[in-house]
Structure 1
């Protein structure tokens, strides 16, 4: 048949409709590896950073929380008991780094028109290269050189996620950063060497991208992308199940036009414990690994993206596209399938539309145009439903063959333990994807076994016309 639909291992979070920079800060890993023992004495960079914040009147010795070395790297540690929803810190706008602060800087005039993240990345790199001459050097000194995000993995480490959607997403992400770098190098950096006296490389750009991807706050009033020094040290907790009211932008006072970033603790915290927040309840493990460099164990984070296409070679392409667009979809549809969860509501109707052909193509006629999506909510014909099952199951089998290990081997590695943080991520990601693929396959295998028991369009139509008996047999009327 001329239609095409498949499980796409190259599905990219970068191009996914739900993907954007809506990311709170990342658990940094600049001083100790994840899971390492806490260090009692903060490093000098952290003490200098705190002193700077004190001089800028952002913190005092009475502040509820203070930066500290924790198992994740750096974090915010309660200096006293903190109650639920209590304000932990407030950072004035003068300490924010966002497109507005870039516009007011020496490079602001040459950065106008750039994408927000690109101009902030360029600013970060330049300030880092200026060292002690930069007003921001105390903050930049506590930023990690890399994280456990897959964009920083070596070729050997990336080999461990061979066959996963995360690998193709990571490669796509790095290619995207490189293309943006080459463009900004040609248009901004090289023509303005007085502003950028030091050589800037694609590795520098990738570092800045990783910092922003992992630490920038968004979903804030009037702010699409902003770094908040001190606040971005806060780490993530999987046990916190709400994102509401953890942080906001508000006025500095009744008679002040200044703005401050206010961070609250969503749960009560004892003195000496970390203040934590929930980064994003909707992110999958692949997104957590790409953005922050960690994953969770819960099945609700384990997803696989099904990519469905209406092929342009389909003789009914125009009609199918019209139906898809009428119902808020397009030639390509992405469905995130979560482990042990039902299929997304619109997935089967879209599958049936893509596979529609032969004698079933009558549903594409204009007379059915307003009702066809309703008809697609239920099985159309045995042939249509059988094709769907066979193609999806074959796609699952093909995707599973693309991994370097079996699910059983991954589970044994997890059981044996002693995995490095990055290998732990790799094993968790590939095992999770395999589980979802088996989950998808089992759904369609079960459906395949029920094909003879399903009721299809023609039978429903006859029943609606009163032409089907109580036993399901067709009623024939003989002439008198």
Structure 2
């Protein structure tokens, strides 16, 4: 698809704002929907005058939020699917296929037709992310199966309703993916109004956190035009009974862009969900350590039998510290580089058999401070995890990378930095003076390409 020229781009923005205002939204005269393509940011919302803290930027009636319920999708069809994501995808497919007959057309005209999120990367392109656990979280095959089994049959049963004449199942599947990616990148969890959240007990808040994954999804026009920035976040969406309101959370100077925030997302997840990366989220990079790698290195480093490892792991799971994987964070992370659960687990694995039996009989666990043996085990785990990434390159060609390959390199470099910091934090415990390698990269290369004997 050819990029829009300036006039077409602006005309689409103007038509959208006119439509949104007509639908009942109120928009501050002190902001504008701006063309930020010159900084590779698409559209964005920019202040035209100085804004005070807690100043209302715009309000959107709940009736103007695109959901399965606010779309014109017939209720009888809507009832055939009971899932927040899938019902919204179905509604958006319906509205999109209506074309000019859809009241949401000016909104769809602003939404992207293509994405750089990982769902759309080829197998060759995904090789650029070798080593990152994010590749296993894309879920394309699962999405293909879900759409093919749950959405395509509904659409096929109602061809007149969806106006699908002449469209193949492959085309409809691609459209489902496009709408799913749009929701992932732009939709909001439609929280309850603030008035319904006041006075809750801690237990009720915890229940809300657990249920957040099942909150209804909605496309909030204009709110989704704010770009995100962890450092410069200056606006937030508030939920009221009959509308949602975007407000400033700090003073904003004239000419400044207004930013929402995704929360502490690693750059790998930014790329997976939104199709871009930025150094502003580098502080949230993590590396996932699998339970299989920990067990493998426990056997190699501590010379434990598989039965001993299984016994300790089962006890760890019973005590709530055994898991499928653990995230290693940056040294600057306020909550620490290593999760408490991982530290307790490593101490447990490094505990002598007799001591382990005592802990088990008392229904207790080791402390979180890593013992010397646990640090050695952790270091071995980290080095082997590092070896899963490609060898570092000092080639000047890497500095000239663009597009998806450049974004992948940022993710990989960030995750390797996390591991470098983590190894540095536990290296003092490594007393193996016979180690042939004297750098992390050398050690990793020895694992990647073991010397034949």
Instruction: Say whether the 8 Å CA contact 1:151–1:174 is kept in structure 2.
Output: yes
Q: Is it true that 1:246 corresponds to 2:236 in the alignment?
A: yes
| Change beyond 3 A, Cα 1:449–1:239 | same
Larger helix fraction of residues: 2
2:181 corresponds to which of 195, 210, 232:
210
Structure with larger RCO (C-alpha < 8 A, sep 6+): 1
Q: Is it true that 1:336 corresponds to 2:328 in the alignment?
A: yes
What TM-score do you get using the length of structure 2 for normalisation? 0.75
- 1:387-437 per-position Cα deviation (integer Å, ceiling 9, x unaligned): 55434433433x13xx2x52534xx456x45x4343331221111122223
Q: Match of 1:229?
A: 221
Deviation at 1:73, TM superposition (A): 0.4
1:122 is paired with a residue of what secondary structure? helix
Deviation at 1:368, TM superposition (A): 3.5
| Change beyond 3 A, Cα 1:300–1:350 | same
- Count of matched residue positions in the alignment of Structure 1 and Structure 2: 391
2:91 corresponds to which of 95, 118, 123:
123
Gaps of 5+ in 2: 194-214, 297-304, 434-453
1:415-430 alignment, distance < 5 Å:
416=399, 419-430=401-412
Instruction: Say whether the 8 Å CA contact 1:86–1:265 is kept in structure 2.
Output: yes
Q: Match of 2:140?
A: 174
Q: Match of 2:131?
A: 163
Deviation at 1:334, TM superposition (A): 2.0
Instruction: Say whether the 8 Å CA contact 1:246–1:277 is kept in structure 2.
Output: yes
2:100 corresponds to which of 132, 137, 142:
132
Q: Match of 1:406?
A: 392
Q: Distance in 1 between matches of 2:78 and 2:191?
A: 26
Instruction: Say whether the 8 Å CA contact 2:233–2:258 is kept in structure 1.
Output: no
Q: Match of 2:20?
A: 53
Q: Match of 2:414?
A: 432
Q: Match of 1:292?
A: 274
Deviation at 1:83, TM superposition (A): 1.8
Q: Distance in 1 between matches of 2:253 and 2:381?
A: 54
2:114 is paired with a residue of what secondary structure? coil
1:220-369 alignment, distance < 5 Å:
220-221=191-192, 223-240=215-232, 246-251=236-241, 259-280=242-263, 282-297=264-279, 299-309=282-292, 314-316=306-308, 319-338=311-330, 342-354=337-349, 360-365=352-357, 368-369=360-361
| Change beyond 3 A, Cα 1:185–1:117 | closer
Q: Distance in 2 between matches of 1:88 and 1:142?
A: 20
| Change beyond 3 A, Cα 1:367–1:159 | closer
What TM-score do you get using the length of structure 1 for normalisation? 0.71
Q: Match of 2:149?
A: 183
1:183 is paired with a residue of what secondary structure? helix
2:217 is paired with a residue of what secondary structure? coil
Instruction: Say whether the 8 Å CA contact 2:283–2:330 is kept in structure 1.
Output: yes
| Change beyond 3 A, Cα 1:67–1:178 | same
Q: Distance in 1 between matches of 2:96 and 2:381?
A: 52
Q: Distance in 1 between matches of 2:76 and 2:429?
A: 59
| Change beyond 3 A, Cα 1:58–1:394 | closer
Q: Distance in 2 between matches of 1:436 and 1:407?
A: 17
Q: Distance in 1 between matches of 2:428 and 2:377?
A: 14
Q: Which has the larger radius of gyration?
A: 1
Structure 1: 4+ residue segments shifted above 6 A: 310-313
Q: Distance in 1 between matches of 2:252 and 2:233?
A: 16
| Change beyond 3 A, Cα 1:350–1:94 | same
Instruction: Say whether the 8 Å CA contact 1:40–1:69 is kept in structure 2.
Output: no
Q: Match of 2:112?
A: 144
Deviation at 1:191, TM superposition (A): 3.1
1:81 corresponds to which of 50, 57, 60:
50
Q: Distance in 1 between matches of 2:345 and 2:3?
A: 49
Q: Distance in 2 between matches of 1:265 and 1:443?
A: 40
